[in-house]
């Protein structure tokens, strides 16, 4: 069989690619069969030809453009690069070395009616403008029919139920042989109709109707936490946070097109997104939005294992993205007050520097020549870390201040958007709203529980558990270890003595108890183990086993964080529920199950006690600022130069909804001295968010609600 018989009567080129510095890929196509041979780039040519001869069954010779044979001792890389033909007798096959081509073609979205598709192209030796795309559909039992040749395609009603594919090849007018050898084909699946989204339709209709004609100079800002797909492991399994939701609705192929449709429906001028997967930014968001006139940038969260971050896009018809800065929020370069605070607490300083957080600062120039500073961020998520988020937002404002100070121009107004993981009562929100935060703010008090030397969370948990067990007569080799107040000075008067009695240590004890209660309650409510599931006659034996487990766990050094029995005992102690040892009072049989019933009520009571205690400390500090001799406040004063207003006010409508947790965590802030709020897209109600248990769902492709607000310059009505 001749080489040309193998390659068919058409002269099909031999395609040679340089894969990396020392490797070549030699590819021969015969009909539908494709043979590929990897060879060292620096080996002598005769070795490559010998190996190819074994694959094809005939002797071969490589010719240059003049028709002369290339010497066999020539390094393969140089030989193939300068070759014109591969010759077998009188038959010649052209050699294409590193031809322009589409090296990969992907699209993470499943096809849905009316939702745009835009594939990601990886190109070699060509530009996107030189690539020819062909979109084709195939109905049941039919052949492939062309439906489009643009860079993106929007499936129509007529496409519903049909298969869809896209083909890509380099070259404005590619030949048939080039298509056969170099074309990439991606089958996207069956075109379906996306689930109806009545809540989104209502929001869009209300947004369009509010305010009538759009104001001149309108700036539309959108913030959206996408729920990164990197966290999908554990979503759908038993007990997973999103196990209520069908897996086909939590899959990226389903969520991404619905999120894109939502973004395009609002058509923002400035788009701030959080929890954006690095891969889907490149394969989905960047090509989709750039094709629609946006320019954007992605910033990965700091941390070795981080694979998601924040993305900011601006509409080029409205803004020019002039400069971008990434703020890691690790507080290594921050304001002087925060530096002093962290220097006083080195363990906290080390912990904060490793947190996976990020912020973007972007300087934009509007088409009318004015500038705008946009901040996009996703603050640290841990529920108890209110003090960390307060420091992070303070650090972000510090960076924004320092950057705009260095500009050779008037300071631009600030728009800040993102998932702050903060409710309206938290210090970070109050700093933005009021422009300052006092060192006596209760978020600093909560933070002190973690900062104080010798009273870490685990030690506090161990001490509280030890005291609980001792009060119940359980033998323990360890003491309580709870620290008392410092020795009082004889020179301190009666007023100062009273202040010391209500010093920070007293508030800390209340905060500690409140914190332990929350930990225990959360752990109890998560556990499947419940005595109430047992028959009444089994309760005494279960109670005995429960106490044996508690004693065993304590002696092994476990804490409330790692032992359900110890957590249950602490909840019992704080809630005032009597739990006797097995063989004790006869009324014990329902004691442990009843803890769950009273936890929520007592948590609210203890929160009130903590607030009252901290307020008493504030009053004492104001009354006796110097006589106490005790530093009652562990925090620092923070201030903002910007006069900010929340587009959604002091919002309490949840923007983040899980089965067991809902809160307003997402915000859009703007500088009210330069910008005016024109209108906002109304938020869906709590009932709408929880119609399918929680989010995500058929209605919501993320566990966060998108925010959208129209702003205008104050001097432009």
Residues 10 and 47 in one domain: yes
SS3 331: coil
Calculate mean pLDDT across residues 191-209: 94
Cα–Cα distance list, 360 to 337, 392, 435, 491, 591 (Å): 22, 13, 21, 53, 52
Q: CA 459, 462, 465 angle in degrees (round to 5)?
A: 150
Which is nearest to 631 in space by CA: 483, 500, 509? 500
Q: Contact, 258 vs 193, CB < 8 A? A: no
Mention every residue, 6+ apart, whose C-beta is less than 8 A from residue 50: none
Cα–Cα distance list, 119 to 106, 110, 282, 292, 525 (Å): 6, 11, 10, 14, 45
pLDDT tens per residue, range 596-635: 344 445 445 545 554 555 555 556 555 544 433 334 456 8
Q: How far is CA 554 from the centre of its chain?
A: 37
pLDDT of 304 higher than 70: no
CATH of the domain at 15: 3.10.20
Q: Are strands 644-646 and 666-671 parallel, antiparallel or unpaired?
A: antiparallel
CATH of the domain at 203: 3.60.10.10
pLDDT of 480 higher than 80: no
Instruction: Kindly indicate the confidence band of residue 344, based on its pLDDT and cuts at 50, 70 and 90.
Output: confident
Final residue belonging to a domain, choices 67, 97, 127: 97
Please report how many Cα atoms fall inside a 13 Å half-sphere around the Cα of residue 631, on the Cβ side: 7
Instruction: Kindly indicate the confidence band of residue 459, based on its pLDDT and cuts at 50, 70 and 90.
Output: very low
Residues 553 and 682 in one domain: no
Calculate mean pLDDT across residues 1-29: 71
Task: Give the pLDDT score at 25.
Answer: 93
Q: Pick the range with the lowest mean pLDDT from 121-125, 285-289, 675-679.
A: 121-125
Q: Contact, 314 vs 364, CB < 8 A? A: yes
Asked if residue 381 is part of any domain, the answer here is yes
Calculate mean pLDDT across residues 357-380: 96
Final residue belonging to a domain, choices 97, 128, 155: 97
Final residue belonging to a domain, choices 600, 623, 646: 623
Residues 464 and 430 in one domain: no
Higher-confidence residue of 45 and 606: namely 45
Residues 202 and 327 in one domain: yes
* Helix and strand element counts for the chain (H, E): 21, 28
Task: Give the pLDDT score at 716.
Answer: 65
Question: Highest-confidence range of 98-102, 300-304, 493-497, 548-552, by mean pLDDT?
Answer: 98-102
pLDDT of 146 higher than 50: yes
Residues 381 and 280 in one domain: yes
Instruction: Kindly indicate the confidence band of residue 443, based on its pLDDT and cuts at 50, 70 and 90.
Output: confident
Asked if residue 629 is part of any domain, the answer here is no
- Compute, in degrees rounded to 10, the torsion defined by CA atoms 659, 663, 668, 671: -170
- Distance spanning both ends of the chain, measured CA to CA: 81
Task: Give the pLDDT score at 80.
Answer: 95
Task: Give the pLDDT score at 551.
Answer: 64
- In what helix (H) or strand (E) does residue 411 lie, and over which residues does it extend? none
CA 500, CA 486: separation in Å to the nearest integer? 9
- Inter-helix orientation angle 442-451/504-526, to 10°: 80
Q: What is the mean pLDDT of the chain?
A: 78
CA 698, CA 647: separation in Å to the nearest integer? 27
Instruction: Kindly indicate the confidence band of residue 284, based on its pLDDT and cuts at 50, 70 and 90.
Output: very high
Cα–Cα distance list, 658 to 20, 201, 468, 532 (Å): 47, 22, 33, 26
Burial zone of 401 (CB within 10 Å; 0-12 exposed, 13-18 middle, 19+ buried): middle
pLDDT of 683 higher than 90: yes
Asked if residue 639 is part of any domain, the answer here is yes
Mention every residue, 6+ apart, whose C-beta is less than 8 A from residue 224: 259, 262, 263, 271, 272, 273, 274, 702, 704, 706, 707
Task: Give the pLDDT score at 212.
Answer: 55
Residues 498 and 380 in one domain: no
Q: Contact, 362 vs 372, CB < 8 A? A: no
Residues 527 and 511 in one domain: yes
Higher-confidence residue of 35 and 438: namely 438
Mention every residue, 6+ apart, whose C-beta is less than 8 A from residue 371: 322, 363, 364, 365, 409, 412
pLDDT tens per residue, range 225-283: 999 999 887 787 777 889 999 998 999 999 999 999 999 999 999 999 999 999 999 99
Residues 309 and 394 in one domain: yes
CA 712, CA 239: separation in Å to the nearest integer? 46
List the domain range (segments joined by +) for residue 45.
3-97
The per-residue DSSP string of 603-634 comes to HHHHHHHHHHHHHHHHHHHHH-TTTT-S----
Instruction: Kindly indicate the confidence band of residue 385, based on its pLDDT and cuts at 50, 70 and 90.
Output: confident
Q: Contact, 620 vs 628, CB < 8 A? A: yes
Residues 386 and 526 in one domain: no
pLDDT tens per residue, range 574-583: 444 444 433 3
- In what helix (H) or strand (E) does residue 420 lie, and over which residues does it extend? none
pLDDT of 51 higher than 80: yes
Q: How far is CA 514 from the centre of its chain?
A: 30
Residue carrying structure tokens 């499936």:
155
pLDDT of 591 higher than 70: no
Task: Give the pLDDT score at 515.
Answer: 52
Residues 646 and 514 in one domain: no
Asked if residue 628 is part of any domain, the answer here is no
CA 178, CA 26: separation in Å to the nearest integer? 16
Residues 294 and 387 in one domain: yes
pLDDT tens per residue, range 73-100: 999 999 999 999 998 767 788 999 999 9
Q: List b or e across 165-201, with b for residues whose CB sees 16 or more CB atoms inside 10 angstroms.
A: bbbbbbbeebeeebebbbbbeeebeebeebeebebbe
Task: Give the pLDDT score at 548.
Answer: 63
Q: How many domains does the chain have?
A: 4
Calculate mean pLDDT across residues 359-371: 96
Residues 134 and 244 in one domain: no
pLDDT of 478 higher than 80: no
Question: Highest-confidence range of 51-65, 223-237, 493-507, 531-545, by mean pLDDT?
Answer: 223-237
CATH of the domain at 136: 2.60.40.2700
């Amino acid at each position: 069989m001749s080489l040309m018989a193998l390659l068919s009567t058409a002269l099909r080129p031999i395609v040679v690619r340089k894969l990396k510095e020392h490797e070549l890929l030699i590819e021969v196509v015969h009909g539908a069969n494709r043979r590929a041979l990897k060879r060292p780039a620096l080996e002598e040519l005769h070795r490559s030809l010998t190996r190819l001869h074994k694959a094809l069954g005939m002797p071969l010779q490589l010719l240059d453009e003049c028709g002369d044979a290339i010497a066999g001792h020539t390094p393969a890389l140089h030989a193939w690069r300068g070759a014109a033909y591969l010759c077998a007798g009188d038959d010649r096959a052209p050699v294409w070395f590193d031809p322009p081509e589409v090296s990969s073609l992907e699209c993470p979205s499943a096809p849905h009616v009316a939702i745009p598709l835009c594939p990601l192209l990886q190109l070699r030796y060509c530009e996107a403008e030189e690539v020819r795309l062909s979109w084709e559909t195939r109905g049941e039992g039919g052949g492939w029919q062309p439906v489009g040749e643009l860079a993106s395609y929007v499936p129509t009603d007529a496409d519903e139920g049909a298969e869809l594919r896209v083909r890509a090849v380099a070259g404005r007018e590619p030949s048939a042989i080039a298509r056969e050898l170099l074309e990439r084909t991606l089958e996207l699946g069956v075109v379906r109709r996306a689930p109806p989204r009545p809540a989104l339709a209502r929001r869009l209709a209300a947004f369009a109707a509010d305010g009538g004609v759009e104001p001149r100079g309108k700036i539309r800002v959108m913030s959206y936490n996408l729920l990164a797909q990197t966290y999908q492991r554990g979503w759908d399994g038993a007990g997973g946070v999103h196990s209520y939701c069908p897996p086909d609705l939590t899959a990226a192929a389903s969520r991404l097109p619905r999120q894109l449709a939502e973004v395009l429906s609002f058509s923002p001028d400035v788009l701030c997104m959080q929890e954006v997967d690095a891969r889907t930014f490149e394969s989905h968001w960047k090509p989709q939005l750039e094709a629609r006139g946006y320019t954007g940038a992605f910033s990965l969260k700091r941390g070795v294992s981080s694979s998601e971050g924040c993305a900011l896009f601006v509409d080029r018809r409205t803004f020019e993205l002039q400069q971008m800065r990434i703020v890691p929020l690790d507080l290594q370069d921050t304001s002087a007050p925060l530096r002093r605070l962290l220097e006083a607490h080195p363990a906290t300083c080390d912990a904060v520097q490793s947190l996976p957080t990020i912020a973007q600062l972007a300087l934009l120039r509007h088409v009318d020549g004015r500038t705008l500073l946009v901040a996009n961020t996703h603050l640290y998520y841990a529920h108890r870390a209110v003090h960390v988020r307060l420091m992070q937002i303070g650090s972000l404002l510090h960076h924004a201040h320092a950057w705009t100070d260095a500009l050779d121009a008037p300071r631009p107004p600030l728009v800040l958007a993102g998932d702050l993981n903060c409710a309206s009562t938290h210090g970070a929100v109050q700093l933005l709203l009021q422009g300052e935060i006092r060192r006596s703010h209760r978020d600093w008090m909560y933070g002190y529980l973690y900062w104080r030397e010798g009273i870490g969370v685990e030690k506090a948990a161990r001490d509280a558990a030890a005291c609980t067990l001792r009060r119940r007569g359980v033998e323990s080799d360890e003491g309580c270890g709870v620290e008392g107040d410092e020795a009082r000075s004889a020179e301190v008067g009666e007023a100062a003595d009273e202040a010391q009695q209500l010093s920070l240590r007293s508030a800390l004890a209340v905060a500690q108890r409140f914190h332990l209660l929350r930990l225990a309650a959360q752990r109890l409510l998560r556990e499947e183990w419940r005595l109430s599931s047992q028959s009444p006659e089994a309760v005494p034996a279960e109670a005995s086993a429960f106490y044996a487990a508690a004693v065993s766990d304590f002696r092994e050094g476990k804490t409330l964080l790692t032992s359900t029995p110890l957590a249950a005992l602490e909840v019992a102690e704080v809630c005032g529920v009597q739990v006797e040892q097995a063989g004790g009072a006869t009324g014990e049989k329902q004691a442990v199950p009843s803890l769950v019933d009273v936890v929520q009520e007592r948590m609210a009571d203890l929160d009130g006690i903590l607030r009252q205690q901290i307020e008493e400390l504030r009053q004492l500090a104001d009354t006796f600022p110097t006589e106490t001799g005790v530093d009652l406040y562990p925090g620092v004063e923070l201030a903002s130069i910007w006069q900010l207003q929340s587009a959604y006010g002091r919002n309490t409508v949840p923007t983040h909804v899980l089965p067991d947790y809902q809160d307003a965590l997402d915000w859009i802030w703007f500088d009210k001295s330069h910008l005016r709020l024109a209108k906002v897209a109304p938020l869906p109600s709590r009932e709408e968010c929880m119609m399918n248990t929680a989010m995500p769902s058929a209605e919501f492709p993320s566990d966060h609600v998108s925010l959208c607000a129209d702003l205008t310059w104050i001097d432009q009505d």
